[in-house]
Amino acid sequence: MSRSADGAARAVAALRARGELWEPAPGLVGLRGDALALRNAIERELAALAAACVHELGGDEWLVPPALPLATLERAGYFASFPHWLTLASHLSDDPAALERVASSARPADAARSALAPAGAALPPAACYHVYAALADATLDGPRAVTVQCTCWRHEGERHRALERGWAFTMREAVCLGDDDAVGRFAERGTERALALAGTLGIGARFALAVDPFFAPTARGRALLQRVKALKHELLLPLGDDAEVAAASVNVHERFFGESFGILLEDGTPASGACVAFGVERWLLAFLAAHGPDARDWPSVEGGSRPSAKAVAESREPRAASRRS
């Protein structure tokens, strides 16, 4: 956060003081009590919103695995784009002598760190990679829409903040692959629904053009394309004072993942794609910033995911934002 966010900071401090929020390590947050009930209600609303986005295209929900093969991220061009965030999953060496040293060490946690086998999987940095991988080398007979949710991992050094920028956080996504028209309509409807939900939750919101923080010079051409072609938009929710948080993003990937994963339309051309992604904890934080930490002050959350022209009309002007693609 580049500016103060008093509403959000006060709410997080209140939850900590009540013992409803705790952080065993930077960027890893636990919740219980009223805060957890609210988080779960918001999670259900986002799930309903994403389900509505995919159901109108005949799509469904998938349960995705908790880790990804590294080869999937390689195929997605991830390593040139966002290597700075990546967290890998490694198990211990299966060498009995190495395991014996760990088991008998006076400092077994330290010993375990030096007994790791090379990492075989990545903890997902976004939910939609699972979908592209599962549809790899398929030919689609029409638009394909899927909603998925998973814990995503992005390591951001010293920048982690409770509920705002987690090392681990919950991402709900709706993903669509198909022809340009279907994908464009899907992105539009996702945008409308996200704004409408913010309005129903009593949270001021606006969409703004955004660009991913691509890492390698080779990937920065994609950043330029994103900006010039307006392929990425973020839903910014206020956190108090002048600060905002990017709580959702609408990402139009054009044919990038269709080409990368060999996902084709019936005419043999690569499918276009888009995803609409929601950060569950960021919605929770914005709700707390808007309504305070006391459950007695919270409006009802259930049943909010309906489009509303009013919410679209209430979009406001730019401010400093905390973003996450």
Contacts to Zn ion by CB under 5 A: 126, 128, 275, 277
Nearer to Zn ion, 232 or 291 (CB): 232
Going through the chain in order, the beta strands assigned E by DSSP cover 21-25, 28-31, 60-61, 68-69, 88-89, 121-122, 144-153, 168-178, 206-209, 232-240, 243-254, 272-279, 320-322
Apex 124 CA angle, 190 and 285, nearest 5: 55
Nearer to Zn ion, 275 or 301 (CB): 275
Apex 284 CA angle, 278 and 287, nearest 5: 115
In the complex, what is the shortest distance from the CB of residue 145 to Zn ion, in angstroms, rounded to a whole number? 13
In the complex, what is the shortest distance from the CB of residue 218 to Zn ion, in angstroms, rounded to a whole number? 21
Nearer to Zn ion, 126 or 321 (CB): 126
Nearer to Zn ion, 250 or 321 (CB): 250
Q: Smallest Cα–Cα separation from 224: which of 234, 211, 215, 233?
A: 211
251 residue type, one letter? N
In the complex, what is the shortest distance from the CB of residue 172 to Zn ion, in angstroms, rounded to a whole number? 10
In the complex, what is the shortest distance from the CB of residue 304 to Zn ion, in angstroms, rounded to a whole number? 22
Dihedral sign computed on CA atoms, order 258, 128, 248, 210: negative
Q: Tokens for 284? A: 């929770």
CB atoms under 10 Å from CB of 58, counted, come to 10
**What sections of 28-107 are H helices per DSSP?**
33-55, 70-75, 78-81, 96-104
In the complex, what is the shortest distance from the CB of residue 275 to Zn ion, in angstroms, rounded to a whole number? 3
In the block, which residue shows the tokens 């704004």?
195
Q: Tokens for 270? A: 């690569």
In the complex, what is the shortest distance from the CB of residue 125 to Zn ion, in angstroms, rounded to a whole number? 10
